Amino acid sequence: MDKQDNNIDYKGMALALSFLIVAVFLYCFPNYLKYEISSKVVAIILSVIGIMGLGFELNRINNKTKGMDDVGLGLAFFVVWGILYYYFPLWYINIFTLPLLLGASFGITLGLLRINIILFENKDKVITNVFIIIIQLVAVVSSILQILQILKFI
């Protein structure tokens, strides 16, 4: 009963989206946790977890479309690195956060390469694969935009 007719378990995706919804709520009501800074920190943490979870769950929906989990994890690392670099632009902190940037670029690149390989693997279903990948990328990019709005970058 936990799985739908097409063998997709939506609990993980619902959990990832719940993290993102609570992050938006904290962004809209910054004094919910008494202090604005605590609400922002919790919203950022929830957003990063939501992005990573959404990447993993989007990858599980269609087992043929690999790479979204890598992109989601890479983007989450990139967001954490960007936050640390923005608030602490000190050279010695940059040295310690360099592995985050390396992991972010590795995850994003690996994911995009896997998506590219899957996209052109079966030439009969290229349009279907492109449509699925576009939907998955839009979900991940919208999560990133949400974090940038929380940080007031945009």
Taking a C-beta distance cutoff of 8 angstroms, is the pair 128, 25 a contact?
A: no
Please report whether residue 50 resides in a domain: yes
- pLDDT reported for residue 63: 61
Residue 153's pLDDT is 65
> Could you tell me the residue range of the domain that residue 51 belongs to?
11-150
In a domain, 122, yes or no: yes
Q: Is 122 left (phi over 0), alpha (psi -120 to 50) or beta?
A: beta
CA distances from 141 to 7, 27, 28, 109 (A): 26, 18, 20, 15
Q: Look at the chain and report how many structural domains it folds into.
A: 1
d(CA 71, CA 51): 10
Please check whether residue 2 lies inside any domain of the structure: no
Could you tell me if residue 89 is inside a domain? yes
Residues 6+ apart with CB under 8 A from 35: none
pLDDT tens figures, 58-88: 777 666 557 777 887 888 888 888 888 888 8
